[in-house]
Chain A
Amino acid sequence: MADSTTWPKGYRCAVVLTVDYNDVHGILTQAPEVAGRDKTLSVWRYGTQRGVERLLALLKELGVPSSWCIPGIVAEENPEHIRAIQAAGHEIACAGYRHQNYDTLSLAEQSAALEHGCRALADITGQRPTGFRMPAGNWAPGFTEALREQGIRWSSCWRGDDLPFAHPTAPEVIELPMHYELEDEPYFAFNLSPAVPPAQSRIASYSHTLANLQMDFAGFHRFGLCYVLRLHPEIIATPGRIGVLRELLLGIQQHDDVWIATAGDVAQWWAERAVPMDEEHPAAVYERHYRAYLP
Chain B
Amino acid sequence: MSSSPQPTWPDGHTACLALAFDLDGPTGDAMLNGSIWHKPEYFGFGGYGPYRALPRILDLLDEFRIPTTFFVPAWVVENWPKQCQSIIERGHEVAYHGYKHESFYALTLEQQKDVMNKCREVFWQYLNIRAEGFRTPSGDWRAETPAMLVEAGVTYSSSMRGDDRPYLVKVPGFDTPLVEIPGRWEMDDYASIAYTRAPDFPSGLDRTASYELTLDNWCREFDGAMNEGLCLTTLFHPKITGKPGRILLLEKLFEHMRQRDDVWFATCRDVAHWWLKEHQHG
Interface residues, chain A, with chain B CB atoms under 8 Å away: 1, 103, 136-139, 157-162, 177, 179-181, 186-187, 197-205, 208-209, 211-212, 215-220, 222-223, 225, 280-283, 285-286, 289-290, 293-294
Contacts and interface: CB of A to CB of B under 8 A. Distances in A.
A261 B193 CA distance: 28
A222 B211 contact: no
Q: Which 6 A-B pairs have the closest CB atoms?
A: A199-B204, A160-B44, A282-B47, A216-B245, A219-B244, A208-B210
Contacts of A294: 37
Contacts of B65: none
B7 interface: no
Interface stretch (B9-17, B49-57, B131-139, B274-282): B49-57
B38 A177 contact: no
Given A181-B195, A282-B43, A285-B43, 18 more contacts: A1-B55, A139-B40, A157-B41, A160-B44, A161-B44, A181-B193, A198-B204, A201-B204, A208-B210, A212-B245, A216-B243, A218-B245, A220-B245, A280-B79, A280-B80, A282-B44, A282-B46, A290-B40
Contacts of B51: 160-161, 280-282
A186 B208 contact: yes
Interface string B171-206: 000000000000000000000010111101011111
Nearest to A200: B204
Contacts of A157: 41
Contacts of B38: 103, 138
Nearest to B195: A180
Interface in B205-262: 205-208, 210-213, 243-249
A208 B212 contact: yes
Given A157-B41, A181-B208, A201-B204, A282 B48 contact: yes
Nearest to B210: A208
Contacts of B247: 219
Task: Identify which of A1, A187, A222, A286 gathers the most chain B CB atoms within 10 Å of its CB.
Answer: A286
A162 B44 contact: no
Contacts of A220: 244-245
Contacts of B37: 289-290, 293-294
Given A160-B51, A162-B52, A212 B208 contact: yes
B142 interface: no
B170 interface: no
A293 B34 contact: yes
